[in-house]
Amino acid sequence: MPGRMKVLVSACLCGRNCRYDAAHKKDDAVLDALAGCLLLPVCPEVLAGLPVPRIPCQLSGGDGEAVWKDLARVLRQDGRDLTETFKIGARLAFEASVGITLAVLKERSPSCASKRVWIDGRLESGTGLLAVLLRARGIPVFNEEQAAKGLLFPEGNY
């Protein structure tokens, strides 16, 4: 297991009540998998100034990569467009992530998803806005299921 590597983690996985429903998704398996690492908990949506609780949002027209290309949007459940707010949050989280070795992000989130995300009311293959930025920098991005299965350090280090 690596020493004190710096790992970006979705704040909700660390037990912070920052989700749209004011809850958390604390995941002890994730925290156990990252024992010994220096954790950087972030919530891009809170960094962008969105309240807790807040009206749920999802992607429309494509995943986070499509949003960065201005081919898709982030819409609140009531139809309000929050694309620019989500971009700000992703950029702020990305800027805070300097020096990280990897990221463990909450699956299905419009900001954090690494494999599957809500797009137009369906759970589809795709990524969230922050995951796109991190991968573009070459940072490995994992979700909580991968962390729970011990897939973060297959070779022992990065």
Domain count for the chain: 1
Question: What's the DSSP call for residue 12?
Answer: G
Assigned domain for 117 exists? yes
Q: Is 98 part of a structural domain of the chain?
A: yes
Predicted pLDDT at 8? 97
Domain for residue 156, yes or no?
no
- Sequential pLDDT tens for the chain (158 residues): 445 899 999 999 999 999 999 999 999 999 999 999 999 999 999 999 999 999 999 999 999 999 999 999 999 999 999 999 999 999 999 999 999 999 999 999 999 999 999 999 999 999 999 999 999 999 999 999 999 888 886 554 44
Tokens of 133: 């930025």
* The amino acid at 74: V
User: Which residue reads 């490995």 in tokens?
Assistant: 140
Amino acid in position 77: Q
Whether this model's pTM surpasses 0.85: yes
What string of DSSP letters covers 49-86?
T--SS---EEEESS-HHHHHTTSSEEEETTS-B-HHHH
Which pLDDT belongs to residue 43? 98
Helices of type H across the chain: 28-33, 44-47, 64-68, 83-96, 129-136, 144-148
1 found inside a domain: no
φ/ψ region of 137 (left if φ > 0, alpha if ψ in -120 to 50, else beta) reads alpha
Is-contact 139 158, C-beta < 8 A?
Answer: no
Give the per-residue pLDDT at 1: 43
115 within domain boundaries: yes
Return the pLDDT at 152: 81
Q: Does some domain include residue 95? A: yes
Task: Report the b/e string of 121-138 with b at 16+ CB within 10 A.
Answer: eeeeebbbbbbbbbbeee
Q: Which of 127, 149, 145, 151 lies closest to 69, judged by CA?
A: 127
Q: Residue 18: give the domain boundaries.
A: 6-148
- Residue 113 forms part of a structural domain: yes
